[in-house]
Amino acid sequence: MKVTFALLCVLTVFTVSQATLFSSMSMKYSEEKMNEKMLTTSEAPLLYMVNNSRVVPGFNQLLEVDLQNKKYRVVTDKLNGMSDSVSGSALCGDNFFAVITDAPISFGLAKVNVRTGAVEYLDSKDYLFHKIVCDPTDNNTFIGAASQFTTPPTFTIQRYDSKTQTAKAVGTWPSGLTWPGWDSIFSFDFKNNVVLAAFATLQAGVPKGAKLYEMDLKSGSVSGPKPFDVSKAVQSIIASGTDQFIGTVIDADLDQVSLCKFDKSGSSVSNSECKSAQGLHTDGLPYPVCNGKLYSLTQPIQAPGTTCGLYSTDIEGFTVDKLIEIDGFIPYGYVGAMACKGGF
């Protein structure tokens, strides 16, 4: 499968061994009982999902999903199926941006006008983007966490202009940090104009904890690290604009995901509560937040015998609800990148 090769390509920039990464990317999902919840009109955003092709050659689709009425429309079915979109994406005005990979050959960016369906492919230079968000001042520009194939890998924050197809560095993370292969360890906080990153710590080559770094989006200066007071790998963080935020941890031995409350006000990042949340077993894809809710897919990468559910996490309420089952809703559903209208 193409996405498997895409993941293998990305592995070349990891500081973790291939065996470790395949363990962390294992797709053994246990079912968790969650009540399906209908959204009110004011809560239901439009989601934009890339439905990747299951055949080669083929074409990928960009879908606009109406959660309130549980229907969708095809924005375009002309995305090059040789490249998968299983990483960062963002909707900036009418512009949908997504990271694309055709491993082990190339990687880049796709831009789709969600009104007209017009597709444009962009040169990402030598930057492999992971998490991208809209520049608050320009819908043709996004800000993203990116890596370069150096030794050791270089991780930076870049501001990318889609009109000129140029990237400008905001700042560089310290050298030698361990990225466990999850794009969701980055989270942008425009209230304080910073980006947070939870780089992994290793035990016997396996992610078993994390350290929090912060980068100022104006100066590019980096503060930290602050160690997380958890022994499990931190798979995602969601900045809140305050010292208190939520995120997920994963027990690699049991393949279990928990939603946790974190506090970074002290010398370390403490946690006050964790609860099982298999609806957030996303393999580290960076999913969007709209109207105070995180929207995620449990099975963004196909595996035999498992289903793909769309979940909503209420950030303030600390609850996870299942919205729909993708299988049967979207024909031949193989959804990866996802963004939402008004998301960040």
Which DSSP helix (H) or strand (E) runs through 18? helix 18-24
Compute the distance between CA of residue 242 and CA of residue 184 in angstroms, rounded to an integer.
Answer: 19
Residue 297 φ/ψ, nearest 5 degrees: -115, 135
The token pair at 94 is 């009418």
Give me the pLDDT at residue 104, please. Answer: 65
Give me the pLDDT at residue 283, please. Answer: 83
Give me the pLDDT at residue 342, please. Answer: 56
Q: Which residue positions in the chain have pLDDT lower than 70? A: 1-43, 103-104, 299-307, 342-344
23-54 tens-digit pLDDT: 333 333 332 333 333 333 345 789 999 998 87
Give me the pLDDT at residue 102, please. Answer: 82
49-103 tens-digit pLDDT: 999 887 777 899 999 999 888 899 999 999 998 888 889 999 999 999 999 988 6
CATH number at residue 183: 2.120.10.30
Give me the pLDDT at residue 37, please. Answer: 36
Give me the pLDDT at residue 235, please. Answer: 94
CA angle at 49 for the pair 46 and 51, rounded to the nearest 5°: 145
Compute the distance between CA of residue 117 and CA of residue 283 in angstroms, rounded to an integer.
Answer: 29
Compute the distance between CA of residue 148 and CA of residue 164 in angstroms, rounded to an integer.
Answer: 20
- On whether the CB atoms of residues 259 and 313 are closer than 8 A, the answer is yes
Residue 20 φ/ψ, nearest 5 degrees: -65, -45
Compute the distance between CA of residue 104 and CA of residue 21 in angstroms, rounded to an integer.
Answer: 17
Question: To the nearest whole number, what is the mean pLDDT of the chain?
Answer: 83
The residues, ordered by sequence, that sit 6+ positions from 170 with a Cβ below 8 Å of its Cβ are: 143, 156, 157, 158, 159, 215, 217, 220
How far from 238 is each of 13, 68, 284, CA to CA, in Å? 24, 25, 12
**Residue 278 belongs to what domain range?**
2-340
Half-sphere exposure for 145 (CA within 13 Å, toward CB):
25
Question: What total number of domains does the chain contain?
Answer: 1
Sign, Cα dihedral of 298, 299, 301, 303: positive
Give me the pLDDT at residue 55, please. Answer: 79
Closest by CA to 307, choosing from 274, 333, 337, 270, is 333
Give me the pLDDT at residue 309, please. Answer: 85
- Mark residue 224 as left, alpha or beta (left: phi above 0; alpha: psi -120 to 50; beta: remaining): left
